[in-house]
């Protein structure tokens, strides 16, 4: 596998050539400014205590404008380009500089992300205009201001032309997330969750900051262009890569990984995401499912060539992703709060994306990001609609038969669409995107990728099970509900569900249609010769992540650079055929359609049996497991999320806190008390020895006077010796 | 315009306050300090040395000729920025005190103005003794501000503040006098205390050992002021006890006297010693960052928390100062300004809270967002600036200091230093800790369920911020955003001065590295070969 990686690195960076002579569309910067304008206007609404839905209207219009501008940018796209806006941090010195412009870098990877970020952002803002209407005049403006901040930061993250701009967006989305998770700021759980999200993310940000330092000291630039130029300079000879840059280039991918795992909630930093569900549901759908959490995937895709500089970086990404997918799925299976199940499923699906990146399928990862954005958004939004209608009820044991209730049909069936995609039901978008990743795990040969592939297939079964556990419980079966505790003063006995109205239903249908249509890009013809995989592959191919597009290596070799790399090209083709892996003796790309389809159906079947056909069987199974001493740990651990939070508190938080207490004591007791006050007290103590001299008796004064005079005379006699001694000790023997 | 205006107008104002009624004192001091601010703005517009290395705003006056003492004033670009910071913060402090100070008003406002003169004197002095006098003169008004208008433990705090920093600066004076004495003995011109001349003399003529002692003497004065671990313990006490304006000035300007001193004296005067000692200083800075951050975490008193956070934050500034490359040093200078703005504002905010609730205990108050939304918005904003959210000011300087530290390795091509990635990596943990303690504080005080203590007594103040209070905070917030978005304006402006300070360093570091290298070779040489070497020398 290592040799494959090296040969992929050896592909020339094509976009540098394309950069030349294109007049940059400067209006593209308004994709960024629209959310910022919306933020200012929403802030004004908050200050003026506007009691209408004006903030929602402002936000929707500005986000829709951003979306339209992104579409225009996409249709007018002619090649990667940089749009300079203003100078941000420019430090010049004699013979050098550190440059980080506020500038945009537009290639198709950027556009892919921006399309679903702004598109879903607009739709979810529409949804929120109805969802948040309880708070009109109270937190309404604050909410939409937060959404605007998020869109601004996310656009900076995706569109920035250098790593520091990415960092600006990176921390910015973290802050927006803090703002919106803590929206219900009087609820202690929400405040704690917001804080946790920001702090855990900061650990990842630390990695990103250090990576930026390393990249700058290694490459002399932090602009994507500059980095690829520097890499391209070494491209001609794949062998030089191992020697290039010393230890720094090997450390860079691990630091970037830390950042990506923090933002995208992977092991060991995933703990903030499930708690983040304390925020309003539109926020969970937009930030914590569809867009922000995919920033880590974006980061790795954007810096893909850097990951290929180290032999173990991508395999580790794959393993972390695969294990997170499995781990989060086991927790998701045992939760009762449907929003939390979706949260763990997000962690799990993000794991798939990292698995894809790790097994050299950046295309599969990006495609899964794209489909996941739609189907997970719709799943969250339906959860939100249920929560909204049943006074905060989210327990799947207390809701049943929704699809038969009046006004809940759209919710039930859009949820079904989401569930089908998530479960990887054949011919849904999730099915194709997941297969793209799974197949590649068997195609690419690397450190235990085959084991990972089987683990991921097993996880796909679990996914289908827990997904349909939700749908069969909540939407099928006999009609039954218990209201939640957010009754706003209503009497629980006279409670009636409030089915969603126009805005929510419209958005649900729109996004569910998107989730269905997201399967189509897979079948689109590729314009670029030699690559396949449809529209998303096309988008990823025009970016630094092109190394993970099916057959991209051959494609580039066929292109204009073929002559320059002829030797490498042949090697690549040979190796590609020689090392193309298989699954059970079949071509993984084809076999995976059947394997994952069957596994998904098995999971679905289990869910059908336990949660629709015989619901009591699920409880009795749980009771049986709990009854036996040997199996008791399994349901308990799964329901308690494997005690990871408790583990972190015990191993990291508490010791640090005790250390803090200890330091505070040391500061007061030893440094200030003993040292400072001790030294300050010395003169007084010395003075006490001499105070008997001042006793008022003339005789003793006479004695001390004579003694003093003697001392002075002695000093004067030995002055030269004393001076030379002082000079020799204090100043040393230097002239 | 002569820089004397900046020093004399506040003094005249202070005198005028004593001659008028107490009711007028606040208005007089506000007017005077605003006038000084306007003058300083005009001066900075005319200032010719932005971006270049020279000293502008010169005024040369002889004082005691026989001892070579002069009253020379002047400012380079970095000093000018700190002058602006001072003249901006002073009127805000005056305005912010309008409600808090009810008794002995005349003295209070007069002391504030005298303090302004002293601080400006430090930044403008071009003569060592004038610098020292101004440096010590800042203690007197501050002492009275804490001792008269402070909290319960004010007597102890003020005395400790005074003696601690005074004792430190005596060593500094000894260091200065030694340099001047040596200069007078060897030089032709007799005694001189001109900073510029002495810096050239000390950096070129003094031996490494002498430089080492001078470095320690100067640091004894400046490290206490910054404050660097372990000589920081006066600060939390002084901050907690000082009145709001005192804390703001203390954090905003007085701490910067220490870092400015390092910038103006330590770096140019004793380069050889700095190169030798930089790793140790940096390690103290890093210990300060982590140690103080953990202490912040367990504080109950909001003000003490922010005070300790100053110790932690200034650690980054210290790192930037000894990184010995332009990006680190510019980051450090920017850090001085940014810390003054954001921490100053945090102290204002805590003061505004205290004036309403008369407690700063985080266990007693909580969820103030419900009661004081405007205050809360400002609080969260300045906390984020302090945490280093990109787009705001704190991020830029923190990033530059750490980047400077990171690339300050001995094998760097252009600006070799003696630190390196390992220093930056450990210090960067402070970023995580800062987010932790500040957001926990915000989570308790601003968010959560509303908790108001029994001591609530707003007096004549409104529930949320008054227009006056918003007026105090808004300029600081605007500056935080402006510096966060356009830091290049400032870094370009300070570029010449920074490069002048750093000019001897690349050579010194290389010499230092070679020397260490040869020492290590010497150690490895077998004993039998050493006589040969001596013969060769002979």
Yes or no, beta carbons of A93 and B326 under 8 Å apart: yes
Question: Do A70 and A150 sit in the same domain of this protein?
Answer: yes
Cβ contacts (< 8 Å) between A198 and chain B: which residues? 435, 439
Alpha-helix runs per DSSP H in A182-302: 188-219, 224-232, 247-263, 272-275, 281-285, 295-302
Please report residues of B whose CB lies closer than 8 A to that of A175.
384, 389
For residue A386, what are its two tokens? Answer: 């249920």
Q: What is the ipTM of this complex?
A: 0.91
- A-B contacts at Cβ under 8 angstroms: 159
By Cβ distance, the residue of B233, B327, B431 closest to A91 is B327
Residue A462 lies in a domain: yes
**A360 neighbors A5 (Cβ within 8 angstroms):** yes
Same domain, A132 and A161: yes
In this prediction, residue B188 carries a pLDDT of: 64
Contact residues, B window 386-405, toward A, CB-based 8 Å cutoff: 389-391, 395-396, 399-400, 402-403
Q: How many domains does chain A have?
A: 3
Instruction: For B131-178, write each residue's pLDDT tens digit.
Output: 999 999 999 999 999 999 988 888 888 988 898 888 888 999 999 999
Check residues A583 and B343 and name the one with the higher pLDDT: B343
Contact between B337 and B85 (Cβ < 8 Å) = yes
Residue A185 lies in a domain: yes
Specify the pLDDT at position B378: 95
- Hey, which residues 154-193 in chain B have their CB within 8 Å of chain A? 160, 163-164
Q: What is the pLDDT of residues A173-195, one digit of tens each?
A: 999 999 999 998 888 899 999 99
Q: Does residue A723 belong to any structural domain of this protein?
A: no
* Domain assignment present for A564: no
More confident residue, B461 or A378: A378
pLDDT at B302: 93
Is 70 exceeded by the pLDDT of residue A562? no
**Inter-residue contact B230 to A671 (CB < 8 Å):** yes
Backbone angles phi, psi at A351, to 5 degrees: -60, -40
Q: Give residue for tokens 């908050």.
A: A46
- A434 in the same domain as A480: yes
Of B327, B389, B495, the CB nearest to A175: B389
- Helix, strand, coil fractions of chain A, as percent rounded to 5: 75, 5, 20
Tokens of A576: 């590609």
Average pLDDT over every residue of A710-725: 80
Longest dimension (CA), chain A: 115
The rounded mean pLDDT for chain B is: 89
Whether the CB-CB separation of B126 and B3 falls below 8 Å is answered with no
Test B425 with A676 for CB contact under 8 angstroms. Answer: no
CB-based contact B389 A171, cutoff 8 Å: yes
Beta-carbon separation of A667 and B488 below 8 A: no
* C-beta neighbour count of B178 within 10 angstroms: 17
Q: How confident is residue A445, by pLDDT bands cut at 50, 70 and 90?
A: confident
In a domain? residue A269: no
Banded pLDDT at A236 (limits 50, 70, 90) = low
**B47-61, B92-106, B312-326, range with greatest mean pLDDT:** B312-326
pLDDT tens for A275-304 read: 998 889 999 999 888 899 999 999 999 998
Mean pLDDT lowest among A337-346, A348-357, A671-680, B451-460: A671-680
pLDDT bracket for residue B434 (50, 70, 90) = very high
pLDDT exceeds 80 at position A200: yes
Model confidence pLDDT, tens digit, residues A78-99: 888 888 888 898 888 877 888 8
In a domain, A352, yes or no: yes
| Same domain, yes or no: A78 and A197 | yes
pLDDT band for A571, please (50, 70, 90 cuts): very low
| Chain B environment of A164 (Cβ under 8 Å) | 390, 399
pLDDT at B413 exceeding the cut of 80: no
Q: What is the domain extent for residue A679?
A: 644-694
Main-chain dihedrals φ then ψ at residue A360, nearest 5 degrees: 65, 35
Domain shared by A652 and A632, yes or no: no
**C-alpha to C-alpha distance for A705 and A702, rounded to whole angstroms:** 5
Q: Radius of gyration of chain B from Cα atoms? A: 24
Q: Which of A639, A657, A674 is the last residue of a domain?
A: A639
Q: Mean pLDDT for chain A?
A: 83
Domain boundary among A264, A286, A304: A264
Report CB contact under 8 Å: A171, B424: no
Residue A106 gets which letter from DSSP? E
- In chain B, residues with a C-beta closer than 8 Å to the C-beta of A157 are none
Same domain, A466 and A327: yes
Q: What is the pLDDT of residue A177?
A: 93
Mean pLDDT of all residues in A5-20: 43
pLDDT at A6 over 50: no
Report the distance separating Cα A324 and Cα A344, nearest Å: 10
Looking at the structure, do residues A252 and A353 belong to the same domain, yes or no? no
- Range with lowest mean pLDDT among A273-287, A510-524, B506-520: B506-520
Residues in B touching A194 (Cβ below 8 Å): 443, 447
Least confident interval from A21-30, B170-179, B364-373, B525-534:
B525-534
**Residue A446 pLDDT:** 76
Question: Shortest CA distance to A625 belongs to which of A611, A612, A639, A614?
Answer: A639
Among the partner residues B298, B369, B449, nearest to A657 by beta-carbon distance: B298
Q: What would the pLDDT profile of A687-710 be if each residue is shown by its tens digit?
A: 777 777 677 777 777 877 888 888
For residue B56, give the H/E element and its range: strand B56-59
Domain shared by A648 and A633, yes or no:
no
Bridge partners (DSSP) of residue B361 are B301
Contacts with B236 from chain A: Cβ below 8 Å: 667
pLDDT at residue A299 in the model: 94
pLDDT at A721 over 70: yes
Q: Does B335 touch chain A (CB under 8 A)?
A: no
Count other Cβ atoms within 10 Å, centred on residue A389. 23
User: Which among A167, A209, A676 has the least Cβ separation from residue B233?
Assistant: A676
Note whether A620 and A508 are same-domain residues: yes
Q: Residue A514 has which token pair? A: 């998107």
pLDDT tens-digit profile of B215-240? 999 999 999 999 998 888 889 989 99
Q: Calculate how close chain B gets to A172, using CA atoms only, in Å.
A: 7
Give A730's DSSP letter.
Answer: I
- Rounded to an integer, the average pLDDT of B499-520 is 87
Three-state secondary structure call for residue A90: strand
Picking from B160, B403, B434 by the largest number of A CB atoms within 10 A of its own CB, the best residue to mutate is: B403
Are residues A375 and A230 part of one domain? Answer: no
Residue B149 CB-half CA count within 13 A: 26
Contact call for B399 and A209, based on CB within 8 A: yes
Lowest mean pLDDT among A518-527, A574-583, A635-644, B280-289: A574-583
Of B390, B449, B491, the CB nearest to A186: B449
The distance of Cα A255 from the centroid of its chain, to the nearest Å, equals 14
* Maximum mean pLDDT: which of A212-221, A356-365, A371-380, A437-446: A371-380
Confidence of residue A489 (pLDDT cuts 50, 70, 90): low
CA–CA distance, A525 with B13 (Å, rounded to integer): 80
Would residue A572 count as lying in a domain?
A: no
Residue A531 confidence (pLDDT) above 80: no
- Domain contains A457: yes
In this structure, of A634-638, B304-308, B511-515, the range with the lowest mean pLDDT score is: A634-638
Position A422 pLDDT exceeds 60? yes
**3-class SS of residue A562:** coil
pTM for the full predicted model? 0.89
pLDDT of A617 above 70: yes
Chain A closest CA to B428's CA: distance in Å?
A: 7
pLDDT in tens, A140-175: 999 999 999 999 999 999 999 999 999 999 999 999
Residue A448 phi/psi, 5-degree rounding, is 65, 25
**Dist. CA A132–CA A281, nearest whole Å:** 10
- Beta carbons within 8 Å of A441's beta carbon, 6+ residues apart: A318, A322, A355, A359, A361, A449, A450, A452, A453, A456, A588
> B130-139: long-range contacts (C-beta < 8 A, 24 or more apart)?
B130/B63, B130/B69, B130/B70, B130/B71, B130/B72, B130/B73, B130/B193, B131/B195, B132/B169, B132/B172, B132/B173, B132/B176, B135/B169, B135/B172, B135/B221, B135/B257, B135/B261, B136/B166, B136/B169, B138/B254, B138/B257, B139/B165, B139/B166
3-state secondary structure A564-618: HHHHHHHHHHHHHHHHCCCECCECHHHHHHHHHHHHHHHHHHHHHHHHHHCHHHH
Instruction: Return the residue of B nearest to A203 by Cα.
Output: B432
Burial of A687 (0-12, 13-18, 19+ CB in 10 A): exposed
- B525 burial type by CB count under 10 A (0-12 exposed, 13-18 middle, 19+ buried): exposed
A385 and A430 part of one domain: yes
Share of chain A above pLDDT 90, in %: 36
- Chain A residue with Cα closest to B444: A191
Interface of B with A in 68-127 (CB under 8 A): none
**Residue-level pLDDT at A322:** 93
Residue A340 and residue A229 share a domain: no
CB contact under 8 A, A199 and B436: yes
């Amino acid at each position: 596998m290592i040799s494959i990686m090296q040969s992929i690195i050896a592909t020339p960076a094509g976009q540098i050539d394309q950069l030349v002579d294109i007049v940059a569309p400067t209006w593209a910067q308004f994709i960024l400014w629209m959310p910022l304008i919306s933020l200012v206007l929403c802030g004004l609404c908050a200050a003026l205590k506007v009691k209408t839905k004006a903030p929602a209207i402002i936000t929707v219009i500005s986000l829709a404008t951003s979306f339209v501008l992104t579409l225009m940018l996409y249709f007018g796209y002619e090649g990667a380009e940089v749009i300079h806006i203003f100078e941000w941090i420019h430090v010049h010195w004699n013979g050098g500089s550190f440059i980080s412009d506020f500038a945009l870098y537009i290639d198709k990877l950027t556009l892919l992300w921006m399309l679903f970020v702004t598109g879903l952002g607009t739709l979810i803002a529409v949804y929120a205009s109805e969802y948040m209407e309880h708070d009109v005049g109270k937190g309404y403006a604050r909410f939409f201001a937060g959404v605007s901040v998020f869109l601004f930061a996310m656009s900076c993250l995706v569109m920035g032309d250098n790593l520091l701009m990415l960092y600006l967006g990176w921390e910015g989305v973290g802050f927006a997330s803090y703002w919106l998770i803590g929206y219900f700021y009087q609820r202690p759980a929400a405040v704690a969750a917001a804080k946790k999200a920001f702090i855990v993310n900061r650990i990842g940000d630390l990695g990103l900051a250090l990576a930026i330092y390393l990249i700058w000291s290694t490459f002399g630039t932090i602009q994507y262009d500059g980095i690829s130029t520097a890499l391209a300079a070494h491209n001609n000879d794949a062998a030089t890569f191992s020697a290039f840059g010393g230890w720094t280039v090997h450390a860079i991918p691990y630091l970037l990984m830390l950042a990506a795992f923090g933002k995208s909630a992977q092991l060991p930093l995933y703990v903030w995401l499930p708690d983040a569900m304390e925020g309003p549901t539109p926020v969970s759908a937009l930030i914590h499912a569809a867009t922000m959490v995919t920033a880590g995937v974006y980061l790795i895709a954007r810096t893909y060539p850097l990951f290929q500089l180290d032999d173990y970086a991508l395999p580790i990404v794959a393993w972390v992703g695969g294990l997170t997918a499995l781990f989060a799925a086991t927790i998701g299976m045992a939760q009762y709060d449907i929003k939390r199940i979706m949260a763990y499923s997000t962690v799990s699906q993000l794991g798939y994306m990292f698995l894809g990146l790790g097994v050299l399928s950046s295309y599969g990862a990006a495609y899964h990001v794209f489909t996941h954005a739609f189907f997970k958004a719709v799943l969250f939004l339906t959860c939100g609609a249920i929560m909204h209608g049943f006074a905060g009820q989210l327990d799947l044991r207390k809701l049943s038969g929704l699809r038969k209730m009046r006004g809940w049909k759209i919710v039930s069936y859009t949820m079904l669409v989401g569930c089908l995609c998530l479960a990887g039901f054949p011919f849904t978008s999730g099915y194709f995107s997941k297969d793209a990743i799974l197949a590649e795990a068997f195609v690419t040969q690397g450190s235990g990728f085959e084991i990972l592939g089987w683990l991921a297939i097993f996880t796909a079964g679990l996914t289908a099970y827990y997904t349909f556990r939700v749908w069969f419980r909540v939407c099928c079966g006999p009609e039954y509900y218990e209201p939640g505790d957010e009754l706003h003063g209503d009497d629980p006995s006279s409670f009636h569900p409030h089915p969603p109205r126009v805005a929510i239903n419209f958005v649900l249908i729109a996004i569910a249609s998107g989730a269905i249509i997201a399967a189509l890009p897979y079948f689109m013809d590729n314009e670029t010769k030699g690559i396949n995989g449809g529209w998303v592959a096309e988008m990823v191919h025009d970016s630094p992540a092109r190394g993970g597009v099916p057959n991209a290596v051959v494609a580039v070799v066929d292109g204009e650079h073929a002559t320059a790399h002829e030797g490498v090209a042949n090697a690549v083709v040979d190796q590609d055929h020689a090392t193309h892996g298989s699954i059970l003796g079949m071509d993984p790309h084809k076999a995976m359609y059947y394997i994952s389809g069957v596994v998904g159906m098995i999971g679905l079947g289990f869910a059908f049996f336990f949660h629709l056909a015989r619901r009591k069987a699920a409880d009795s199974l749980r009771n049986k497991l709990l009854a036996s001493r040997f199996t008791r740990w399994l349901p308990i651990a799964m329901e308690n999320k494997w005690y990871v939070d408790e583990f972190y508190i015990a191993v990291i938080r508490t010791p640090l806190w005790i250390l803090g207490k200890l330091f505070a004591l040391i500061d007061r007791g030893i440094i200030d008390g003993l040292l400072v006050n001790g030294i300050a007290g010395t003169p007084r103590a010395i003075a006490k020895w001499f105070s008997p001299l001042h006793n008022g008796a003339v005789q003793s004064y006479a004695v001390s006077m004579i003694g003093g005079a003697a001392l002075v005379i002695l000093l004067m006699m030995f002055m030269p010796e004393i001076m030379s001694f002082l000079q020799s000790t204090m100043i040393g023997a230097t002239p | 315009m002569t820089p004397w205006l900046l020093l004399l107008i506040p003094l005249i104002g202070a005198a005028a306050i004593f001659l008028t009624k107490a009711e007028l004192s606040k208005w007089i001091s506000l007017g005077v300090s605003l006038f000084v601010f306007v003058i300083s703005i005009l001066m900075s517009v005319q200032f010719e040395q932005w971006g270049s290395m020279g000293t502008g705003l010169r005024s040369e006056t002889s004082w005691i000729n026989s001892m070579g003492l002069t009253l020379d004033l002047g400012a380079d670009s970095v000093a000018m920025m700190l002058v602006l910071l001072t003249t901006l913060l002073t009127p805000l402090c005056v305005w912010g005190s309008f409600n808090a100070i009810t008794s002995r008003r005349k003295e209070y406002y007069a002391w504030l103005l005298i303090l302004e003169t002293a601080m400006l004197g430090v930044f403008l002095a071009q003569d060592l003794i004038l610098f020292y006098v101004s440096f010590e003169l800042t203690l007197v008004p501050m002492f009275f501000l804490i001792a008269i208008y402070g909290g319960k433990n004010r007597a102890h705090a003020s005395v400790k503040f005074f003696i601690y920093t005074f004792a430190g600066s005596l060593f500094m004076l000894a260091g200065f006098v030694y340099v001047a004495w040596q200069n007078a003995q060897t030089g032709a011109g007799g005694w001189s205390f001109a900073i510029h001349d002495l810096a050239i003399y000390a950096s070129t003529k003094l031996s490494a050992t002498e430089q080492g002692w001078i470095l320690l003497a100067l640091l004894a004065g400046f490290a206490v002021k910054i404050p660097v671990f372990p000589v920081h313990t006066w600060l939390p006490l002084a901050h907690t006890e000082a009145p709001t304006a005192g804390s703001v000035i203390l954090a905003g300007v007085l701490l910067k006297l220490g870092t400015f001193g390092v910038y103006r004296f330590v770096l140019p005067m004793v380069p050889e010693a700095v190169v030798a000692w930089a790793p140790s200083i940096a390690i103290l800075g890093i210990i300060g960052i982590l140690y103080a951050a953990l202490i912040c975490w367990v504080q109950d008193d909001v003000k003490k928390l922010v005070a300790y956070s100053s110790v932690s934050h200034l650690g980054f500034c210290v790192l930037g100062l000894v990184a010995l490359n332009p990006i680190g040093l510019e980051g450090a200078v920017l850090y001085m300004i940014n810390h003054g703005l954001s921490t100053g504002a945090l102290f204002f905010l805590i003061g505004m809270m205290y004036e309403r609730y008369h407690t700063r205990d985080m266990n007693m108050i909580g969820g103030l967002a419900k009661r004081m939304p405007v205050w809360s918005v400002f609080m969260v904003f300045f906390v984020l600036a302090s945490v280093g959210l990109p787009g705001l000011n704190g991020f830029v300087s923190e990033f530059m200091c750490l980047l400077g530290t990171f690339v300050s390795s001995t094998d760097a091509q252009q600006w070799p230093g003696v630190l390196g990635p390992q220093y930056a990596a450990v210090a960067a943990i402070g970023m995580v800790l800062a987010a932790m303690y500040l957001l926990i504080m915000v989570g308790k005080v601003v968010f959560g369920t509303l908790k108001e203590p029994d001591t609530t007594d707003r007096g004549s103040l409104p529930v949320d911020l008054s227009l006056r209070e918003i007026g105090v905070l808004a300029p600081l917030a605007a500056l935080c955003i402006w510096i966060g978005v356009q830091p290049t304006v400032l870094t370009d402006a300070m570029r010449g001065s920074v490069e002048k300070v750093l000019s001897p360093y690349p050579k010194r570091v290389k010499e230092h590295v070679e020397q260490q290298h040869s020492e290590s070779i010497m150690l490895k040489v077998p004993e039998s070969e050493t006589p040969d070497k001596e013969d060769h020398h002979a």
